[in-house]
Amino acid sequence: MIILHALGAYGSVIALCIIFCVPKKYLNLSGMVGTVGWLIYILLSGNTSTEMFPMFLAALIVSVISHIFARWKKAPVTLFLIPGILPLVPGVGMYRIVYYFMLEGSQSNMTSYYFVYTLQMAGMIAIAIFITDTFFKVFFRHPR
């Protein structure tokens, strides 16, 4: 199960990297960042009732790892951050918004629930990136 998830996450992140023209030498590292992020999210959200905290933690670790890799390889952080964050983007939430929006009748009030849910997920990612960026800016001054 976990191996399937790891394979899927790795494959999808590598494919996205190729679509966004990440150079060959960074493909493997970006794939690893994305895989780690997704595994953390899926393992934690399976065992806890809330989904916000796993999302926050996954995004936090993804951005910390990408900052570390960026300093190690002397490359822009974006190179690892964007592919790493992409599997976490709340696509499922968006689908559910549309799905419930089209159902007329009793279930249509689920739309606003999933709208808030999707915004919360995106907000968690934003806060995680905020915190990591600030942390690295304060403690590791360096030429980008």
The residue (of 2 and 49) whose beta carbon lies closer to other proteins is 2
Q: Which is nearer to other proteins, 12 or 120 (CB)?
A: 12
Q: Comparing C-alpha atoms, which of 95, 82, 90, 88 is closest to residue 39?
A: 88
Q: How far is the CB of 115 from other proteins (least distance, A)?
A: 11
Least separation in angstroms between residue 87's CB and other proteins is 7
What residue type is 89 in one-letter code? V
Number of helices (H), then strands (E), belonging to the chain: the values are 6, 0
Site residues, other proteins (CB under 8 A): 4-5, 7-9, 11-12, 14-23, 26, 38, 42, 74-76, 78-79, 81-82, 85-87, 89, 91-92, 94-99, 101-102, 122, 125-126, 129-130, 133-134, 143-144
Contact 60, 134 (CB under 8 A): no
Inter-CA distances, 58 with 12, 74, 83, Å: 17, 23, 13
Cβ at position 34, least distance to other proteins in Å: 10
* Beta carbon of residue 53, minimum distance to other proteins (angstroms, whole number): 19
Residue carrying structure tokens 């190690």: 72
